[in-house]
A and B are shown apart, each in its own frame.
Chain A
Amino acid sequence: GAAAARDQVQIAGSSTVLPYAKIVAETFAETFPDFKAPVVESGGTGGGLKAFCAGVGEGTIDIANASRPINKNELEACKAAGVTDIQEIRIGYDGIVFAAASSNGDMKIEPKDLYNALAAEVVVDGKLVANPYKNWSEINPTLPQGPIAAYIPGSKHGTREVFEEKIMAEGCKEAGAQEVIKASITDAKQAAAKCVAVRKDGAAVDIDGDYTETLARIAANKTGLGVFGLAFYENNMDKLKVATVKDVVPSVETISSGEYPVSRPLFFYVKKAHLGVIPGLKEYVEFFVSDDMIGPDSPLAEYGLVAAPDDQREQVRNDVLAGKTM
């Protein structure tokens, strides 16, 4: 007869949001025994949004997790496929930290330092030259002793964008490279791109995998500096030594207060058309945005999510209840 209707929520998207979504899904199933636990797919923000925007109906997913806001083109693609009413829900922030093997001493990082260590071209004597630096010590004595090696997120990661924006672009400005670049390149976009270009001689290594891979790389190379999510770092504090950025130690407190500069918001998107049609979807969304889940003392915060300020959370909850769409 008729195909059996779907009886659980289906979620896909960002692997950064995945661990949080998993905790919520699991707790949700324990709290609402009537509903099955949602299925949370991994696959990246892009893949998640693509599946999300494939259309409306039981064969499509209900929620897309994202580590960046959906953008215009994607929204248009969604609309074209009939996915018109989308609720955007911001669940909190992900802190991004720099850390090296725990055998290193205390490290203090300025964006300028990282820029000089990792940029493709740096300013020497007022001129742009291919990056000549070989050892961390040439840049900042508190950094690991040895050759420069940085494990930064590959360009497939959303974190890479944050890294470029908050560290490289900033450092570019501080190091005075921006002016030199602007002087030679008029096109603003190209100039900005040049500012964040990373060296390609092997000193900066893109990581397309997850933080575990970065951790393994650092375990194999003690002078390497890696980029991690705050949650991941907190789970591996015994192996990692975190660096301060602009003299701020990364922590839930400093990030939520905005002191620590490198962080990004996390989202999920819900198809409104599916609310009230897919069993458990409405309950899941409401459960997710409750303070039990994303508040400062919630399991998510425990895992490393930086909770949004109280008023923001309140706002999110109100928007959900009001069914506000984009």
Chain B
Amino acid sequence: MTDAISSAAGLARPRPARRDIGIKRRYAAERRFRAYGIAALTFGIVFLFLLVSSVVSKGYTAFQQTMITVPVEFTEAIIDPKNERADNPQKLMTANYPLLARNAVARVLGVAENDRAGLRDVNKMISDGVRSQLRDMVVANPALIGTTQTVSLLAAGDLDSAFKGQISLDVPEANRKVNDKQVGWMNQLAESGALAKHFNTGIFVNGNSSRPEAAGVGVALIGSFYMMLIVLVLSLPIGVAASIYLEEFAPKNRLTDLIEVNINNLAAVPSIVYGLLGLAVFINFAGLPRSASLVGGLVLTLMTLPTIIIATRAALKAVPPSIRAAALGLGASKMQTIFHHVLPLAMPGILTGTIIGLAHALGETAPLLLIGMVAFVANYPTTPLDPSTALPVQIYMWANEAERAFVERTSGAIIILLLFLIVMNVGAILLRRRFERRW
């Protein structure tokens, strides 16, 4: 617009006096309100970010593991000195494999066979886990005996920590788990390339172990997977069914009020009490095995139900009555009305309840305590009836370990749990987005 035009406009008839509707003040309020919203959202997300970044910064190193790659001589004299393996396969199982590893590393480092102190130090650099590592190699292929193979051996947890720089070398030698000699050897091996960090698949697939370098969340992952499956399969349908009954069918009377109050109240029951319940009902009464993920899943289902029911009821309430009237007026039965129209519209809320409920169940330790799932379990469960643990339990137990190397693994396990959570929720979140619509 040009000046000429705007001045011409100015000549026009006088504007009617405007009412004062406090527009400035109200806009300020509007901006403030909006700012509160942004601030609140930012607050939440910043804290999430802080939490996650503190976990990640502590835990990302857990996904690497120091290995010592050396030629190992599978000496027959050590494995099977009397050559009995043909008659007694058991022999191969119980041989002194760690000695093979120690000798191999000592040879590379040039430690004399009679330097007992030196050999002990060398031994402490290698994980005890090599026993099963080498044993499994030999049992799988007895022909290895007498040959020399290049093997990547697990480094001991302390060496791993030292190599990752987590043990301060300024501390007096007596006060740290790795002595100067070992540090020297470590550097020597690292320079020659024999000692290096590799991706730590073990933390994903191994069972729990008292040795940090060999510990993994494999069993806990399976356990959590079983439990979440059980929780999902049971609590979603049961929760939705219960909500439908209470919200749509139940006569509104004292009894249903009682049920409603009761469900709200169940959400306030401390989770460990669900453990007591599980112990009494599922283990002592029904005779299900201890430490089984089936029992854990059932207990967590009961714990999750109130969340899902409350969320679902709120969502059902929010569906406008005109939709129900429309369907009923067409001759749809109440059931059809609910399942065809009301439920799809309530779906976002239901899924939110499920997401939150499952997330809660995934991170919960206390109820598992009394049913024996806060436990050291080394063997993989094959069915939900076998003993297993869960991810938060593993985190809880590792957090209480004394060894330094468990600190990073604890954070590593938390990262894995968060990944698990995200994978678990992505489906539900996508589904929820599909169901969301504005009127």
> Once the chains bind, are B376 and A236 in contact (CB under 8 Å)?
no
Determine the residue in chain B with the shortest Cβ distance to A41.
B375
Q: Is A256 an interface residue (CB 8 A)?
A: no
Contact with A along B269-307 (1 / 0, CB 8 A): 000000000000001100101110000000000000000
The verdict on A43 contacting chain B, using a C-beta distance below 8 Å, is yes
Give chain B residues whose Cβ lies under 8 Å from the Cβ of A33. Answer: 93
* CB pair B290 A61 closer than 8 Å: yes
Q: Determine the chain B residues whose CB is within 8 A of the CB of A19 once the complex forms.
A: 210, 401-402
Report which of A23, A25, A26, A41 forms a contact with B291, defined as CB distance below 8 A: A41
Does the CB pair B400–A15 fall under 8 Å?
yes
Question: Which residues of chain A have C-beta atoms less than 8 A from B400's C-beta?
Answer: 15, 209-212
Contact A8 B210 (CB under 8 A): no
CB 8 Å contact bits of A3-39 with B (1 = contact, 0 = none) = 1101010101001001101110110011101001101
Among residues of A, the one whose C-beta sits closest to the C-beta of B375 is A41
In the bound assembly, the distance between CA atoms of A6 and B372 in angstroms comes to 15
Q: How many residues of chain A get a CB closer than 8 Å to chain B's CBs?
A: 45
9-residue interface stretch from B111-119, B167-175, B224-232, B315-323: B167-175
Docked-complex contact B402 and A231, CB < 8 angstroms? yes
* Contact A37 B287, beta carbon cutoff 8 Å: no
For B373, the chain A residues whose CB sits under 8 A away are: 41
Quick one: given A8-B379, A39-B377, A41-B374, are A235 and B209 in contact (CB under 8 Å)? no
A299 to B131 alpha-carbon distance, docked (Å):
14
Could you say which residues of chain A place their CB within 8 Å of the CB of B167? Answer: 238
Give Cα distance in the complex from A47 to B375, angstroms: 13
Nearest Cβ on chain B to A68's Cβ, whole angstroms: 19
Answer whether residue A185 sits at the interface, using C-beta atoms and an 8 A cutoff. Answer: no
Residue in A39, A61, A210, A212 whose beta carbon sits within 8 Å of that of B376 in the complex: A39
Say yes or no: B387 contacts A8, CB within 8 Å: yes
Asked whether B94 lies within 8 Å of A31 as measured between CB atoms, the reply is yes
Q: Which residues of B contact A229 (CB under 8 A)?
A: 402
Q: Is B177 an interface residue (CB 8 A)?
A: yes
Q: Give B396's nearest chain A residue, CB to CB.
A: A42
Q: Smallest Cβ distance from B388 to chain A, in angstroms?
A: 9
In the complex where A23-B210, A25-B378, A42-B397 touch, is A237 in contact with B175 (Cβ < 8 A)? yes
Query: Which applies to chain A's interface (DSSP): helix, strand, loop or mixed?
Result: mixed
Choose among B128, B174, B210 the residue that contacts A22 (Cβ–Cβ < 8 A).
B210
Q: Does B260 contact A (CB under 8 A)?
A: no
Q: Does B289 lie within 8 Å of A6, measured CB to CB?
A: yes
How many A-B pairs with Cβ below 8 Å? 108
Instruction: Check: B385 CB closer than 8 A to any chain A CB.
Output: yes
Q: Does A54 contact B (CB under 8 A)?
A: yes
Chain B residues with CB under 8 A of A3: 287
Could you give, for residues 365-401 of chain B, a 1 whenever the CB lies within 8 Å of some chain A CB and a 0 otherwise?
Answer: 0000110111111110000010100000000010111
Identify which of residues 149-172 in chain B touch chain A, using a CB-to-CB cut-off of 8 Å: 167-168, 171
Per the bound structure, the CA–CA distance linking A157 and B385 in Å amounts to 32
Closest beta carbon of chain B to A316's beta carbon, Å = 22
Contacts of B73 in A (CB 8 A): none
In the complex, A39 Cα to B207 Cα: how many Å?
12
Which residues of B sit under 8 angstroms from A41, Cβ to Cβ?
290-291, 372-376
Which residues of A lie under 8 Å from residue B289 when comparing CB positions?
Answer: 6, 59
- Is there contact, CB below 8 Å, between B132 and A30? yes
Flag if A238 contacts B175 (CB, 8 Å).
yes
B31 at the interface (CB under 8 A from A): no
Taking CB atoms, residues of chain B closer than 8 Å to A102 are: 171, 175
The reply on B432 being an interface residue by CB < 8 A is no
Report the nearest B residue to A60, measured CB to CB: B290
- Alpha-carbon distance A299/B124, docked complex (angstroms): 12
CA distance A182 to B117 in the complex (A): 56
> In the assembled complex, which residues on chain B have CB atoms less than 8 Å from the CB atom of A133?
none
**B64-105, CB < 8 A from A:** 93-94
Contacts of A211 in B (CB 8 A): 400, 402
Q: Are A237 and B403 in contact (CB under 8 A)?
A: no
**In the bound complex, how far is the Cα of B377 from the Cα of A26, in angstroms?**
9
Interface status of A40 (Cβ within 8 A of chain B): yes
B176 within 8 A of A: yes
Q: Is B404 an interface residue (CB 8 A)?
A: yes
Smallest beta-carbon distance B400→chain A, Å:
4
Residue among B369, B378, B399 with max Cβ neighbours from chain A (10 Å): B378
Given A18-B376, A31-B94, check contact A47 B209 (CB 8 Å): no
Shortest CB distance A15–B (Å)? 7
B284 cross-chain contacts in A, Cβ below 8 A? 54, 59
CA distance A102 to B177 in the complex (A): 15
Q: Mark A45-70, 1 if CB is under 8 A from B, else 0.
A: 00100010010000101000000000
Q: Select which of B131, B291, B397 is within 8 A of A30 by beta carbon.
A: B131
Q: Which residues of B contact A23 (CB under 8 A)?
A: 210
Q: Which residues of B contact A237 (CB under 8 A)?
A: 171, 174-177
Contact call A42/B404, Cβ cutoff below 8 A: no
Q: Given A235-B403, A237-B176, A43 and B370 touching (CB < 8 A)?
A: yes
Cβ–Cβ < 8 Å partners of B375 in chain A = 12, 39-42
* Distance from B327 Cβ to chain A, minimum over Cβ atoms (Å): 49
B215 CB to closest chain A CB, in angstroms? 10
Bound Cα distance A304, B378 (Å): 22
Of B131, B174, B211, B290, most A-chain CB atoms within 10 Å: B290
Are A236 and B171 interface neighbours, CB within 8 A? Answer: no
Given known A210-B400, A238-B175, contact A36–B379 (CB-CB < 8 A): yes
* Cβ–Cβ < 8 Å partners of A15 in chain B: 400
Give min CB distance, A9 to chain B, whole Å: 10
The answer to whether A39 touches B370, judged by C-beta atoms less than 8 angstroms apart, is no
Are A59 and B290 neighbours in the complex by a CB distance under 8 Å? Answer: yes
Bound Cα distance from A61 to B370, whole angstroms: 13
A4-B385, A235-B404 known; A29-B378 Cβ under 8 A? yes
18 A-B residue pairs with CB within 8 Å: A25-B376, A30-B135, A37-B379, A39-B291, A41-B374, A41-B376, A42-B369, A47-B369, A59-B283, A59-B289, A209-B400, A210-B399, A212-B399, A212-B401, A235-B402, A235-B403, A237-B174, A238-B175
Per CB-CB distance, the 7 closest pairs between chain A and chain B, nearest first, are: A37-B378, A235-B402, A41-B375, A210-B400, A40-B376, A237-B175, A238-B171
Task: Write the residues of chain B forming the contact surface with A, with a CB cutoff of 8 angstroms.
Answer: 93-94, 128, 131-132, 135, 167-168, 171, 174-177, 208-211, 283-284, 287, 289-291, 369-370, 372-379, 385, 387, 397, 399-404
Known pairs A41-B376, A42-B376, A211-B402 / 10 extra A-B pairs, C-beta < 8 Å: A12-B372, A26-B210, A29-B378, A37-B378, A41-B374, A43-B374, A51-B372, A59-B290, A235-B403, A299-B128
